[in-house]
Amino acid sequence: MPRSSFRPVATAVVALAVAVLAVSAATPSVGAATRPADRTVTLLTHDSFAVSDDVLAAFTAKTGITVEVLRAGDAGQALNQAILTKDRPVADAIYGVDRAFLGRAVGDDLLTRYRPAALTTVPAAYTAGTRGLLTPIDVADVCINVDEAWFAEHHRRAPTTLAALTRPANRDLLVVEDPSTSSPGLAFLLTTVAAFGDQGWQRYWKDLRANGVKVVDGWEQAYYEEFSGGGQGGERPLVVSYASSPAAAVVYADPPIDSSPIGTMTRTCFRDVEYAGVLRNAEHPREAERLVDFMLSEPFQADLPLQMFVYPVREGTPLPEVFTENADVPTDPYSLPAGEIERNRDDWIREWTGIVLR
């Protein structure tokens, strides 16, 4: 290339740079479009977030705040996105942090303290480990679900305890999710840690593996494709899912049914809590606080069961009939301190991978 061509290169590059600047300057960004008159708040959450339109519309009507919902994969993914972008967050509030990742969320300078007035209506146990940075919103029990019809058809008794799952009679019946890619999968791993202890759970999983446990990547795959009660030709009658799944099976039945064909092994449950919080560098912190208030308010809490199939944390919130009639609430679910989970989670998952998959 002749030496004199340097100048045209420079000219061209400068011209292009100017063009890019002009385009990006002319581009309306979310922030710039927000005038005080139309207040918005952006909620970063997981893919399963859902709320009834009229409930959300009532919030907007009352407060003048429009909610934008940004779904960013599963709960772990959404949280990591928040952490990676914490200097200039993509949202104002986050919802969907669960017990498994509570430690990561409160330990990373990510959130700002907020205590909604309605927190007094929430049992104190649910606020453990939140350091005032996160507000509990809902509770979900991750349990093993049973396809009752399958056991009836095969004239067999369904197992009721974790220990029973390693017996030869229950060989090749259980499907679980990989804890490194699935929230319920991780919750079930925590169940076994809580049940068999820091030194005992490895042995249990070795036995489960020897007894033909099937591992898949995600909940959808486990429930719909592998679980015989999922309605799509699965063959295994036991699956790691939720205590609310029996109710969901009734709600989504087509044609409608009266009672659920799915049961729950209530002694295999891990109690998970989902939290919401205000992001530290939020553009609209006041609006984010109103949003957290709203999520603890009666209308949102009452809406939770049929939207996300989780239980409200607010005491005295009425449950839909389909829940009271079909879903068993475990009386004594397993649980682990947030700090212990945070210290060991990644090691447990790696160890589990070595035991069960390799």
CB of 211 or CB of 281, closer to another protein: 281
Q: Minimum Å distance from CB 79 to another protein?
A: 8
From candidates 197, 252, 321, 337, binder to another protein by CB under 8 A: 252
Q: Is 73 in the site for another protein (CB under 8 A)?
A: yes
CB of 33 or CB of 37, closer to another protein: 33
CB of 13 or CB of 169, closer to another protein: 13
CB of 122 or CB of 176, closer to another protein: 176
Q: Is 309 in the site for another protein (CB under 8 A)?
A: yes
Q: Which stretch binds another protein (CB under 8 A): 85-93, 158-166, 198-206, 266-274?
A: 85-93
Q: Which stretch binds another protein (CB under 8 A): 4-12, 114-122, 156-164, 194-202?
A: 4-12
Q: Is 274 in the site for another protein (CB under 8 A)?
A: no
3-state SS of the chain?
CCHHHHHHHHHHHHHHHHHHHHHHHHCCCHHHHCCCCCEEEEEEECCCCCCCHHHHHHHHHHHCEEEEEEECCCHHHHHHHHHHCCCCCCCCEEEEEEHHHHHHHHCCCCEECCCCHHHHHCCHHHHCCCCCCCEEEEEEEEEEEEEHHHHHHCCCCCCCCCHHHHCHHHCCCEEEECCCCCHHHHHHHHHHHHHHCCCCHHHHHHHHHHCCCEEECCHHHHHHHHEHHHCCCCCECEEEEECCHHHHHHHCCCCCCCCCCEEEEEEEEEEEEEEEEEECCCCCHHHHHHHHHHHHCHHHHHHHHHHHCCEECCCCCCCCHHHHHHCCCCCCCECCCHHHHHHHHHHHHHHHHHHHCC
Q: Is 3 in the site for another protein (CB under 8 A)?
A: no
Q: Minimum Å distance from CB 230 to another protein?
A: 9
From candidates 207, 224, 319, 329, binder to another protein by CB under 8 A: 224
Q: Minimum Å distance from CB 52 to another protein?
A: 6
CB of 85 or CB of 317, closer to another protein: 85
Residues that bind another protein (CB under 8 A): 5, 8-9, 11-13, 15-17, 20-21, 23-25, 27-31, 47-53, 56, 68-74, 76-77, 80-81, 83-85, 88, 90, 104, 178, 180-181, 215-217, 220-221, 223-225, 231-232, 248, 251-252, 254-255, 307, 309, 346, 349, 354, 357-358
